[in-house]
Structure 1
Amino acid sequence: MLPAYVLLDLETTGATAVSDRITEIGLVRYENGIEVKRWQTLVNPEMHITPFIQRITGIDDEMVKDAPLFKDVAHELLEHLHGAVLCAHNVRFDHGFLKSEFKRLGITLRQKVLCTVKLSRLLYPEHKSHGLDAIIARHAIHCSARHRAMGDVEVMEAFLDVAAREHGMVKLEATAAELLKSQSLPLGLDAQLLDDLPEQPGVYLFYGENALPLYVGKSTNIRSRVLSHFNSDHSRARGMRITQEIKHVEWIETAGEFGALLLEARLIKERQPIHNRQLRRERQLCAWQLSPDPAAQPLLNLADLNETQPDALGELFGTYRSKRQAIAALRQIAEAHQLCPQALGLEPGAGACFSQQLKRCKGVCCGKEAPALHYLRLKQALISHQLKSWPYPGKLGIQEHGQDKSVIHVFEHWCYLGSVSDEAGLESLRETRLQFSFDLDTYKLLQKQISKSKLKLLQL
């Protein structure tokens, strides 16, 4: 399939490479299509194996208590991997655990990888599931020890044999080469980037020749998202243009997706990357303000959101980038609800308006409808456009937990004040005086987060 590759499987104490450890390693090394090494070993994880993991793998504390530590087998494992492509089913899992184990020893693992899940998807696109159990059932593969390292490696061996028979070795090799090629980076980018990209939530920044970013993006998995920019076929010219211009990549990890969304919105507004079309700074947002008097002329006036006080947000309707956009939106509302454009201030004049003559207005302009009733209908028509007043007596904290960090995002009157990870920082934000500046993106993100209620809300 490849000049040199290693089929590998690990058993572990859990699913998180940062905190869990390896309990078993199994591998087979091939060179020029010939098996040259078969190696397996239990590993003492130096931690308790939970009953749940024991039931899945059959490996318990007693079995590994006298097994070598990872540091004792690390050198031999590196020899088996040297110069070969690491192949595994869901290779990011196994590769992630190996990188973490070697990192604890001060070693940076640099290894080309190939995922046999992706290989199966390319070779058998007609099937939905490509896990090992699905492959065993699909190809009637015998497995002597499922969820044991060497047993699962033997399943991968059998799958490759079946794929070679059914598709031919030429197609198998071409498909494997295609997967390896998809991991390549554009010229000018350091290949070490492939090893350093974290599989954590956060924000990434693409740079060209200068200090201004070309593009800012966010993801729950920075590595996956960044590499997807280089793996695509660039059917859109914009994607091709961004990729060709990238010379440097930076990233900032966050505790979770909400923190990534907040950071992305802030960085785009601060740095104005040329390829970000959304989340740009809204310099002149305006909204409609309804008069408290049903007989007022006009009933609505445009208010500049940059000059609005936080307590007045609940009296405003809609958010618009320009006066023209606001007027167009109000005309649509008037037509949909038979409201008087003259009373709303959309048209000048006195007496019956033109819409009333066309029976598109119920006649508040000429005494056929009571002003109070027209006002009530207007309020009902606007209610879905109404901005929300701040529903808390003071500041709000939203707590977000990640794999190895926990932060509290602090807000007041829909304004984002910052994120902190300790009590001292939280106390500082508690004392911060609000300088209100309405930001539509933060407003929408926070409203959505509060309604979802998946994160812990703290009234500060």
Structure 2
Amino acid sequence: MTNFRSEFPAFAFVDIETTGGNLERDRITEVGIVSLQDGVESRWEHLINPETLIPYNIQVLTGISPAMVQEQPTFKELAQLILDQLQDKIFVAHNARFDYGFLRVAFKRIGIDFRPKVLCTVKLSRFLFPEQPRHNLDTLITVHHLKVHARHRALGDAELLRQFWYCCIDQFGISKMQEAIDQLLPQQSLPPNIDEAMIKDLPDTPGVYLFYADNRRLLYIGKSNSIRGRVLSHFSSALRIRKEMKLAMQIKDIDWIETAGEIGALLLESKLIKEKLPSMNVRLRKSTDLCAWQLLLNNDGILVPKLVRHQDLSPGRQENLYGLFYSRSEAIKTLQALAKKHTLCEGLLGLEKLLPQKSCFGYQVKQCLGICIGQESTLSYHERLLHALYKYRVGIWPYKTAIGIREAQVVHVIDHWCYLGTAIDESEVFELLNSGVPEFDLDIYKIVKKSLGKMGSGRIVPLPKPAQAAEYESY
């Protein structure tokens, strides 16, 4: 075995054990550190009282029981000792964002900003042994014949990293190892399966990015005015946000689609999520329970709401429409809240059954002003009802035909709040106009309505009706 050379900086090979994988909820139960500095090795380990329960499956995996940590110091009590062990050393760990992420969050809880240089041995293995299909710790043990002393204990696993380091030096030499360090250290915020070259290819332009897991399984679709900047922000956030860490650890590949600007990115993101159904996009998925309230006059000339379900909705064409809501229960809860806030009659709102010549229950407890029994004028009630619903009003399509929204060199074709597609020339515009209006989508509606409210009229182009498209010469 080659002796450790002083040409290298000081290293701390680190492993931690925890109560689970949640950065916010779970806590560290053990820290193990093997230090290499100026040719000298040293070892440090300590159990930690996590001040929370250790799940049974974690006890089985690590062998660390509640009884073992009950009388141990807390992380706060050990923090300075841990810092002393890591001071001025490169932090080396396997899947480093896990160990580093937990330690960074633990230090942050007690007011310490912990930001060492970080080297991930998963990335080191991928760099030096690209032909190997797997780079987890068990694979390294098998391939490099590492000696296991205490698997899934902090110092035992840290010792495995030290052995792997020496194996790499023996096989590749000092200069190759230094090259690996120089290339990998700047990547400390990148996930294990993403290399710097892939990030360099990402454009600093508006568009949509797609994260893939194994076998090109689509994980996530996002959008940004800077694709590269937004992707990197996902990875840096993974050091403190559990959801981002879960995403980052699964990413194996990244695709992207550039757009003309922010509007194009928003529209394309919403469209692709509903078409491709990535596993970690939930908020923008298509809703099949979309509904809205429509105000109609009853036999007494009083406006009452009728629930219009998804199959009967035609927003932009229907008048007196209010919502929109992702489900019937959301629509009802909203109406109940408005009734209480604005003393509206729950009987006339359809939230309770009205008996002939009887008031609603709200009138008896002064939550209704008596419109249900003629104690309030229709005009007064209508004023309060329309005021209560105003912010939920679904706008009628304000144009006679479809329109195009100019963005750089393209035109986004919109008809009655529906996105038909994006065109780069007249023939594509005509093709989209004749393709038929797609099903209404609430997210597209919000994007278009907000965009139209912010832009000048010069970017809005009236387009012909489909039947006239062939005669239309220019947009």
Which TM-score applies when normalising by structure 2?
A: 0.55
CA contact (8 A) 1:214 1:273 kept: yes
Residue 201 of structure 2 corresponds to: 196
Q: Secondary structure at the match of 2:214?
A: coil
2:292 aligned counterpart, secondary structure = strand
Distance 2:272 2:312 in 1: 23
Partner amino acid, structure 2, of 1:219: S
Gaps of 5+ in 2: 1-7, 9-114, 116-180, 464-475
Question: Residue deviations 1:417-457, cap 9 Å, x none?
Answer: 0001112212222333324x221111111111111015711
Q: Please report the RMSD computed on the Cα atoms of aligned residues, expressed in angstroms.
A: 2.8
Question: Per-residue CA shift, 1:288-327, capped at 9, x if unaligned?
Answer: 1111347268821110133223454332111222222211
Q: What is the DSSP-based 3-state SS (H/G/I as helix, E as strand, rest coil) of the residue aligned with 1:249?
A: strand
Give the match for residue 191 of structure 2. Answer: 186
Corresponding letter in the other structure for 1:215: Y
Structure 1 spans left out of the alignment, 5+ residues: 4-121, 123-175
**Structure 1 counterpart of 2:431, from 423, 428, 431:** 428
Query: How far, CA to CA, are the matches of 1:188 and 1:416 in structure 2?
Result: 36
Which residue in the other structure is 2:404 paired with?
A: 397
User: Which one of the candidate residues 302, 314, 319 is aligned to 1:314?
Assistant: 319
Q: Match of 1:313, as an amino acid? A: Q
TM-score calculated relative to the size of structure 1? 0.57
Would the alpha carbon gap of residues 234 and 296 (structure 1) be closer, same or farther in structure 2, given more than 3 Å must change? Answer: farther
What is residue 288 of structure 1 aligned with on the other side?
Answer: 293
Tell me what 1:28 maps to: none
Match of 1:238 in 2: 243
Task: Return the alpha-carbon distance in structure 1 between the equivalents of residues 417 and 402 of structure 2.
Answer: 9
Q: Is the 8 A contact 1:295 1:371 kept in 2?
A: no
1:299 maps to 304
Cα deviation digits, residues 220-270 of structure 1 (max 9, x gap):
111111122223452111111111101111000111111011111111111
**Is 2:348 the counterpart of 1:348?**
no
Deviation at 1:400, TM superposition (A): 0.6
Could you tell me which of 428, 443, 446 is aligned with 1:444? 446
Letter in 2 for 1:234: L
> d(CA) in 2 for partners of 1:418 and 1:348?
46
In structure 2, what residue type is equivalent to 1:407?
Answer: V
> Matches of 2:363 and 2:405 in 1, distance apart?
50
- Separation in structure 2 between the aligned mates of residue 364 and residue 421 of structure 1, nearest angstrom: 56
Question: Contact (CA 8 Å) 2:417, 2:445: kept in 1 or not?
Answer: yes
Secondary structure of the 1:278 match is: coil
Distance in 2, matches of 1:278 and 1:305, equals: 18
Contact preservation (8 Å) 1:306, 1:438: no
Task: Give 1:383's aligned amino acid.
Answer: Y
Q: Secondary structure at the match of 1:344?
A: coil
Q: Cα 1:452–1:357, aligned 2, differ >3 Å: closer, same or farther?
A: same
Give per-residue Cα distances to partners, 1:17-43, cap 9 Å, x unaligned. Answer: xxxxxxxxxxxxxxxxxxxxxxxxxxx
What's 2:284 paired with?
279
The residue that corresponds to 1:156 in the other structure is none
Contact in 2 for aligned 1:183/1:227 (Cα 8 Å) = no
Which among 329, 340, 346 is matched to residue 324 of structure 1?
329
Q: Say how many residue pairs are matched.
A: 284
Q: Distance in 2 between matches of 1:409 and 1:194?
A: 29
What's the counterpart of residue 419 of structure 1? 422
Say which SS state the counterpart of residue 317 (structure 1) adopts. Answer: strand
8 A contact 2:317–2:416 mirrored in 1: no
Contact 1:310 1:413 in 2 (8 A): yes
User: What does residue 214 of structure 1 align with?
Assistant: 219
* CA shift digits 1:111-130 (9 cap, x unpaired): xxxxxxxxxxx9xxxxxxxx
Closer, same or farther in 2 for the Cα pair 1:235/1:209, shift >3 Å? Answer: same
Q: Secondary structure at the match of 2:294?
A: strand
Q: Secondary structure at the match of 1:334?
A: helix
Match for residue 254 of structure 2 among 234, 240, 249: 249
- Secondary structure of the 2:265 match is helix
Q: What letter corresponds to residue 309 of structure 2 in structure 1? A: D
